[in-house]
Amino acid sequence: MVDVTPADAVPPAEVAEMELYHPHSWWTKYVFSQDAKVIAIQYSATATAIGLVALVLSWLMRLQLGFPGTFDFISPEAYYQFITMHGMIMVIYLLTALFLGGFGNYLIPLMVGARDMVFPYVNMLSYWIYLLAVLVLASSFFAPGGPTGAGWTLYPPQAIMTGTPGGQDWGIILMLVSLILFIIGFTMGGLNYVVTVLQARTRGMTLMRLPLTVWGIFTATVMALLAFPALFVACVMMLFDRALGTSFFMPAIVQMGEQLQHGGGSPILFQHLFWFFGHPEVYIVALPAFGIVSDLISTHARKNIFGYRMMVWAIVGIGALSFVVWAHHMYVSGMHPYFGFFFATTTLIIAVPTAIKVYNWVLTLWRGDIHLTVPMLFALAFIVTFVNGGLTGLFLGNVVVDVPLSDTMFVVAHFHMVMGVAPILVIFGAIYHWYPKVTGRMLNEAMGQFHFWVTFLGAYLIFFPMHYIGLMGVPRRYHELTNTTVMTESAHDLNAFISIMAFLVGFAQIVFLFNLIWSIRHGREAGGNPWRATTLEWQTPETPPAHGNFGKELPIVYRWAYDYSVPGAKEDFIPQNMPGSFGTSREPA
């Protein structure tokens, strides 16, 4: 572990003057920058870059699944390496890093009215350690034996044995080291996000005036800080097993007629540790998406978010509950069967606050003034895919229903829909929403529309039918399904269709990336507040916000983040830092 150097921290009250940490050279301004906004862009760019690698990997495996036997270079080893790296990159190095390191860094200080994160130096270190983790991970592609092919869950014993690609080579070691680095780096960043929300809120910014984006990222960060140590412990112990020959997870094993040196360990212990991290991880990705999408819907429907208090309580409740549901990933793992009763119950209870959030999003649309902008379209698509993926979660969370479905393509379809497609749609919506603030220019609308329709419909057509392949009993993580009798001829055709859709959706992302780059120069000038939004990041004196965010004086907050279409007010939005009283009747009838 790396420790925060205590003496280095400066309380934010003393850094009201920007001169205290003003960068002096190009290097400290753009590379080794301590400005959260620059760090956010560094995080986002790195996450996107490694995410593109994962996207290409998904194409490769769809090639194999859709057209088995056609592509000789995709050997079973390669296929398992692709799925492993695809999963791990997408979950940890893309989604977690982008939501917390990217959006968290950019939005938290701006939205709570702070000049920067509270520990800027530690924040900078966080990014560089993250970059190192990504590089170590990427280096495993070039290591002897290639990257690990243990599946992203890295279940021992196979993860560290021959018979699994990278198991007795460098692959698994580099993966574990990279994860350990990631966790260290994330902890440094996470401390910043949490303490900034706790301590650096501007005057008048009470917790109940925070935009839900901040609530989502804040709660997710708290969860991540408490959940990642479990992965850390699991990784360190597995590294000991692999490199030093201990037997934490390794039982007595005969492989290919040969007795291995290990003995007595418990593979289930690893699974408990892994999922103790792994389940909160789902909500670490989901909660920021919940928060951001609430703000997108509210802003673009010109209406306050319906049931703000319920939304806050639900975020906190989901965050707390998500720590007592981890074993629903282990119903058929051979753990004590009576755990099933407990974990099925907690899992289905968590559906209630989640459902409330969905209701509140759609009820925000009711009697709104819905502008069908690109961010709004992505938000609507998020609701569709999230409801779909959340409801199939009720199949898998209900212990006995999970028995036939677990480890089939149904699971793959479910988690891609709920924590792949849905959060990514929010990320896209959020990028279209905040890009004007980051660059001062709008993203191109036509390219945005194209990107939206192909991504939304394509992704739905990939993952909705996939559930039914799983329902047929087709297992996941099969390099080829030609020997599997439940896989009918027509299901092979469906698989080919899914693969074609996957290439199409991937192609749309290239258009999106082009849009991102093209619009920096050629986008329409956005002005400071193109969406006419209430929250503080839109009220900065400069766009893009300068170092220190708010010019000479920090804003003072007089109202909650959702004063849209207040009856009697002149405009259909009142910024949070606007003093005075507006509106006649604010109590609901």
Which CB, 51 or 87, lies closer to another protein? Answer: 87
Q: Is 581 in the site for another protein (CB under 8 A)?
A: yes
Work out how close the CB of 426 gets to another protein at its nearest, in angstroms, rounded to a whole number: 16
Which one among 392, 499, 534, 540 touches another protein, defined by CB under 8 A? 392
531 binds another protein (CB under 8 A): no
**Is the Cβ of residue 266 or residue 518 nearer to another protein in the bound state?**
266
Q: By rule CB under 8 A, what string of x and - marks binding of each residue 33-72 to another protein?
A: ----------------------------------------
Q: Is 573 helix (H, G, I), strand (E, B) or coil?
A: strand
Give every CB contact of residue 297 below 8 A, 6+ residues apart in sequence: 305, 361, 364, 365, 376, 379
Residue type for position 467? H
Site string for another protein, 265-284 (x = CB under 8 A): xxxxx--xx--x--------
Crossing angle, helix 308-321 and helix 212-239, to 10 degrees?
Answer: 10
Cβ of residue 477: shortest distance to another protein, in angstroms? 5
Q: Which of residues 165-184 bind another protein (CB under 8 A)?
A: 165, 167
505 to 524: interface string for another protein, x by CB under 8 A: --------------------
CB of 424 closer than 8 Å to CB of 430: no
CB 501 within 8 A of CB 462: yes
Q: How far is the CB of 22 from another protein (least distance, A)?
A: 20
Nearer to another protein, 28 or 162 (CB): 162
Q: Smaller CB distance to another protein: residue 80 or 127?
A: 80
Stretch that binds another protein, among 26-34, 139-147, 419-427, 462-470 (CB under 8 A): 462-470
Mask of contacts with another protein, 226-265, x by CB under 8 A?
A: x--xx-xx--xx--x---xxxxx--xxxxxxx-x-x-xxx
* CB nearer another protein, residue 48 or residue 385: 385
What are the backbone dihedrals phi and psi of residue 59, each rounded to the nearest 5 degrees, phi first? -60, -45
What does the CA dihedral 153, 157, 162, 168 come to, rounded to 10 degrees? 80
- Our CB check for another protein shows the closer of 77 and 445 to be 77
**Positions 102 through 131 that interact with another protein (CB under 8 A):** 118-119
One of 69, 517, 553, 567 touching another protein (CB under 8 A): 567
Question: How many residues make contact with another protein (CB under 8 A)?
Answer: 186
Which of 53, 131, 355, 516 is close enough to bind another protein by CB under 8 A? 355
Residue from 66, 104, 149, 185 that binds another protein (CB under 8 A)? 149
Element of type H or E holding 438: helix 422-439
Q: Can residue 571 be called a binding residue for another protein (CB under 8 A)?
A: no
Instruction: Decide if residue 504 touches another protein (CB under 8 A).
Output: no
Cβ distance to another protein smaller for residue 342 or 503 = 342
| C-alpha to C-alpha distance for 424 and 279, rounded to whole angstroms | 18
**Which tokens sit at 265?**
């360990």
Name 475's bridge partners: 408
Site for another protein in 292-351 (CB under 8 A): 301-304, 306-310, 312-313, 316, 320, 323-324, 332-334, 337-338, 340-341, 344-345, 348-349, 351
Can you tell me the distance from the alpha carbon of 48 to that of 97, in angstroms, rounded to the nearest whole number?
Answer: 10
Q: CB neighbours (10 Å) of residue 179?
A: 25
Q: Which residues of 274-297 are buried (b: 16+ CB within 10 A; e: fewer)?
A: bbbbbbbbbbbbbbbbbbbbbbbb
Q: For another protein, which is the closer residue by CB, 378 or 435?
A: 378
Site for another protein in 481-500 (CB under 8 A): 481, 483-486, 488, 490-491, 494
Is residue 363 within the footprint of another protein (CB under 8 A)?
A: yes
Q: First CA to last CA across the chain, in angstroms? A: 55
What 3-state DSSP class applies to 156?
A: coil
Of 406, 388, 387, 385, the C-alpha closest to 397 is 406
Q: What are phi and psi of 524, to 5 degrees?
A: -65, 140
CB nearer to another protein: give 52 or 236: 236
Q: What is the DSSP letter of 260?
A: -
Strand partners, 147: 171
Binding-site member from 103, 182, 395, 463 for another protein (CB under 8 A): 395
Neighbours of 583 (CB within 10 A): 12
In this complex, which beta carbon is closest to another protein, that of residue 26 or of residue 579? 579
- Letters for 420-459 (x = contact with another protein by CB under 8 A, - = none) are -------------------------------------x--
CA atoms within 13 A on the CB side of 277: 21
Q: Given the complex with another protein, which of 51 and 555 has the nearer CB atom?
A: 555
**Residue 543 identity:** T
Q: How many CB atoms lie within 10 A of CB 403?
A: 11
